[in-house]
A and B are shown apart, each in its own frame.
Chain A
Amino acid sequence: SQKIEQNSEALNIQEGKTATLTCNYTNYSPAYLQWYRQDPGRGPVFLLLIRENEKEKRKERLKVTFDTTLKQSLFHITASQPADSATYLCALDLRRGNKLVFGAGTILRVKS
């Protein structure tokens, strides 16, 4: 069956450390993978997109990797801040009419 798995437990880290979030998928062949941030009671906000033929993408303190052999994406936030605390969703872009399939998300808590 098709599945997208993100860290099931909340990730608690200290301010200034690097947060690493995982997205694994099964029985999908995404052309792209996207990461979104969602705050409680709000809609998701787009962060980064990576193509299937790209290994790594960076934007400011954010970095995403995409390994289609392992069927895994890693999302890193360096020099994390309390304001980075949120739920982070990975989304598989199946290139089928703009359809995104979301993972359940990882709750990140950055403590000062």
Chain B
Amino acid sequence: DTEVTQTPKHLVMGMTNKKSLKCEQHMGHRAMYWYKQKAKKPPELMFVYSYEKLSINESVPSRFSPECPNSSLLNLHLHALQPEDSALYLCASSQPRTGGIEQYFGPGTRLTVT
């Protein structure tokens, strides 16, 4: 199984809502990532988990809160978002080797903040 799954596919939320994005992989990968991608822009790294521990936080606002409950699951908790946070949120996974390893991406969650 070389698939990364993400739920939901689409999410519309108000600025006062709390919601969560979910990501799952069963490839035995021990590194998992969250990226944010705006239209016609490249994916931008938000967080990296390695062996279920947060290893990189790219100075993301605290209204985004990642969680890695086990080696197969990655969540992104959302609270008090702004309209400019509307984007495609991509999850990815890989072996945790430092460099030279491909990442497997999920299909993304299209988030709209109203």
- Taking Cβ atoms with an 8 Å cutoff, the residues of A that contact B are 31-32, 34, 36, 41-46, 49, 51, 89, 93-105
CA distance A89 to B35 in the complex (A): 14
Tell me if A98 and B42 are in contact (CB < 8 A): no
Binding site for A on B (CB under 8 A): 4, 31, 33, 40-45, 48, 50, 55-56, 88, 90, 92, 94, 96-108, 110
Query: Which of the residues A46, A94, A101, A103 comes within 8 Å of B102, measured between beta carbons?
Result: A46
Shortest CB-to-CB span from A85 to chain B, Å, is 16
- Tell whether, in the assembled complex, residue B45 and residue A93 are in contact, meaning their CB atoms are under 8 Å apart: no
- Min CB distance B15 to A, Å, is 24
Q: How far is the CA of A41 from the CA of B108 in the complex (A)?
A: 8
Task: Name the residue of chain A whose CB is nearest to the CB of B55.
Answer: A97
**Pair B98/A46 contact, Cβ less than 8 Å:** no
User: Roughly how many angstroms separate A45 CA and B108 CA in the complex, as a whole number?
Assistant: 12
- Do B45 and A99 have beta carbons less than 8 Å apart? yes
A41 to B39, CA, bound (A): 10
* CB–CB B45/A42 < 8 A: no
Cβ-neighbour of A104 out of B4, B42, B55 (below 8 A): B42
Contact B50 A98 (CB under 8 A): yes
Q: A31-B100, A43-B4, A43-B92 are in contact. Are A99 and B43 (CB under 8 A)?
A: no
